[in-house]
Amino acid sequence: MAFLTRLSKASSLARACLSRCMSNLPENTVYGGPKPQTTDQRVTLNQLKQKYRKGEPITVVTAYDYPSGVHLDTAGIDICLVGDSASMVVHGHDTTLPISLEEMLVHCRAVARGAKRPLLVGDLPFGTYETDTSQAVDTAVRVLKEGGMDAIKLEGGSPARITAAKAIVEAGIAVIGHVGLTPQAISVLGGFRPQGRNVSSAVKVVETAMALQEAGCFSVVVECVPAPVAAAVTSALQIPTIGIGAGPFCSGQVLVYHDLLGMLQHPHHAKVTPKFCKQFARVGDVINKALLEYKEEVTNGSFPGPSHSPYKMNAEDVNGFFKELEKLGLDKAASAATEAAEKKNAAQQPGATKSQSD
Task: Report CA 293 to chain centroid distance, whole Å.
Answer: 29
Active-site residue numbers? 223
| Nearest alpha-carbon partner for 91 in 310, 266, 281, 342 | 266
Tell me phi and psi for residue 65, to 5 degrees.
-150, 180
